[in-house]
Amino acid sequence: MDLKTRNKVEVAFSMASMTDLIFLLLIFFMLTASFVTPSGLPVNLPTSKASTIEVQKVSITVTKDLQYYVNDKKVTRSTLESALKPLLSSPAGVVVLHIDESVPTKELVYVAGIATSLEARVTLATKPK
């Protein structure tokens, strides 16, 4: 008596769903990575309760020893405005200030005043609590 089953088990494994999942994860991480662009300069940011993510085109960094950087390029205090003008050609520009917490407030007001005189929206970068 020869008993054979008609249903044979297929040995192949379909990877189509796995590749779709990996592709979607890759797209998600690529999109979210572009929203957060950390400054590469060592700055101790102040903390705040509420923080929002702002897409930054121009970042100004002031370190604790009062060195000024525009998009990680070192500038002097006197050439700060001339370095910002070409970067803020559109009137709806956004400037994110990365200012060390030990920097005096008058330096913050000076940098923010230059950015607002160039008709830019100013945002202060902080660490969440």
> By residue range, what is the domain housing residue 97?
38-128
**Any domain includes 64:** yes
Tens digits of residue pLDDT in 34-90: 665 555 666 767 667 766 666 667 888 999 898 999 888 899 988 988 888 888 876
**Any domain includes 30:** no
**Any domain includes 42:** yes
Report the percentage of the chain scoring pLDDT > 90.
12
CA–CA dist 113, 92 (Å, integer): 16
CA–CA dist 108, 128 (Å, integer): 20
72-108 b/e (C-beta count within 10 Å ≥ 16 → b): eeebeeeebeebbeebbeeeebbbbbbbbeebeeeeb
**Any domain includes 43:** yes
* Domain count of the fold of the chain: 1
**Any domain includes 7:** no
Tell the burial category of 7 from Cβ atoms under 10 Å away from its Cβ (0-12, 13-18, 19+). Answer: exposed
**Any domain includes 96:** yes
Report the percentage of the chain scoring pLDDT > 70.
78
